[in-house]
Amino acid sequence: MKRRTFLENTALASTSLFVPSFLASPFGKKTERSRSGRNLVIIQLNGGNDGLNTVIPYRNDIYYRERPRLAISQQEALTITDELAFHPAMDALRPIYDQGHLAVLHDVGYPNPDRSHFRSMDIWHTASDADEYRSEGWLGRYLDNHCTGCDTPYHALEIDDSLSLALKGAERTGFAMSNPDRLQRATENRFLKALGNHQGDDHDHEEVSYLYKTMIDTQRSARYLFEQAGKHRNTVRYPSNRFGDDLALIAKLILADTDTRIYYAGLTGFDTHANQQGAQQRLLKQYADGVSAFVRELEEHDLLDDTLIMTFSEFGRRVAQNGSNGTDHGAANNLFLMGGNLKQRGFVNGGPDLQNLVDGDLKYRTDFRSVYATVLDHWLETDADAVLGGRFDRLKVV
């Protein structure tokens, strides 16, 4: 363990808000460790990623029997343990695994899994039961009631042109921005500034209030985020695609010690009903290369210990492939956690359990809300039960 990490993990653990300046990097180019606390980065794989071809149970006969054309052979798979291997496109994750910065949870899901993308994504976003409908997201509820000292509109920031349900609360919401430069220019309108000052955000009509509040918040935030994003240049090269751009932006904001603490990004296209190989290969490569650059950059600046990255998808896919060389919607799936401060590393609950399937689908062993509860409780240090509206077991991984 590095000396600096050791110091911070022990003597300074309880006062991590206050890192003395002698701990700051002596290298001019580097930034000092974040003074404001921990970052949570959530990466959503849209469409239902095929977890079984992401982390491959390469010694499992059931896997090869059910996927005669789609299974990834032992020769191709990137062997990690005696049982499990990565998809060949995820070579970049291997060093992260080797350094103990990756934890994979298998068979994460919920009771009575729903196979609709939208419904299942809503369940994940709102942390609801399968038959329960909630209109606030789990992070939105955190912002609403349980997040002290985070009253900036950009405490939770989604790098996209629109905001996900997860970040929508009843009173407070996260902030959506795909490009700080564009947002900044969009708020330079002098009339709109005068209008915001004149009208305020308190109106009888609910939608009018909402629109004014959003406008005024945006005007107040845009310049700040623009300046924060311009403070540092990325010191690592990110892959040339949208996902890479988004992670590069998040890294710049973290490096600048921005008041944002929760970041949300996504990668789309995992709904591979037909001809899965090429599509998943391309997407997993984007994912692994992007995340690897991100982790390296944070590590270079000694910020990885302060950052937790969670990757999930709304469901996994059926164990058996379909007749179109693809896979249909399934149930439980694997979930990745990354960071410099994990308490458990590697495949923390073994591999996928292919023996005990329900209707040909993986059965959940860990409720995704246990992961949320752990993140809320152990990482964001808030009352997870109150945010989630129920008690879920805590995991040891964070």
Partner 1 sequence: MHHLHHLHNRFGFSPTPTEWQKLQSESVDWAITKLLTDARQNPPVATPNESIPENIRMMNDAERAELFKERLMGVATINAEWLSRMANPQESALLERMCLFWHGHFACDIKSGGLAASYLNTIRKHALGRFGDLAKGIAREPAMIRYLNNQQNRKQSPNENFARELLELFTIGRGNYTEQDIKEAARAFTGWSSNFDGTFRFRRFAHDYGSKTFMNRTGKWDGDDIIDIILEQRATAEFLAAKMYRYFVNPGDDPQHIAQIANHLYDSGYHIGETVEFIMRSDWFYAPGHWHAQIKSPVVLIAGLMRSLGIQTEEPMSLIYMERMLGQVLFKPPNVAGWPGGRHWIDNATLMARLNLPSVMILGSGLVGRAKDDPKASRREDGPKQLRVTVDLRPLLTLGQADTPRVALQQLAAYLLPGIEPPLDLIERYARASSPQESVAFAAIRLMSMPEYQLS
CB atoms within 10 A of CB 324: 12
Binding to partner 1 by residue 192, rule CB under 8 A? yes
At residue 109, φ and ψ (nearest 5 deg) are -175, -145
Taking contact as CB under 8 A, which single stretch among the options 53-61, 158-166, 227-235, 283-291 is the one that binds partner 1? 158-166
- Which residue from 175, 336, 347, 379 is in contact with partner 1, where contact means CB under 8 A? 175
Instruction: Please report, as residue ranges, which positions from 213 to 242 form the binding site for partner 1 (by CB under 8 A).
Output: 214-215, 217-218, 221-222, 240-242
- Chain positions 237 to 276 lying near partner 1, rule: CB under 8 A, are 240-242, 245, 273-274
Distance of closest approach, residue 276 Cβ to partner 1, in angstroms: 12
Contacts (CB under 8 A) with partner 1, residues 298-357 = 322-324, 326, 328
Asked if residue 171 binds partner 1 (CB under 8 A), the reply is no
Q: How far is CA 356 from the centre of its chain?
A: 29
DSSP secondary structure code for residue 93 in this structure: G
User: How far apart (Å, rounded) are the C-alpha atoms in residues 90 and 266?
Assistant: 17
199 near partner 1 (CB under 8 A)? yes
Closest CA to 161 of 268, 297, 7: 268
* Nearest distance in Å: CB 11, partner 1: 41
| 117 in contact with partner 1 (CB under 8 A) | yes
Q: DSSP character for 289?
A: H
284 close to 43: Cβ distance less than 8 angstroms: no
Q: Which stretch binds partner 1 (CB under 8 A): 34-42, 92-100, 114-122, 342-350?
A: 114-122
Cβ count within 10 A of residue 73: 10
**How far is C-alpha 210 from the chain's CA centre?**
27
Beta-carbon contacts of residue 210 (< 8 Å; ≥ 6 apart): none
The residues binding partner 1 (CB under 8 A) are 115-119, 153, 161-163, 173, 175-179, 181-183, 185-187, 189-192, 194-195, 198-199, 205, 207-208, 210-212, 214-215, 217-218, 221-222, 240-242, 245, 273-274, 322-324, 326, 328
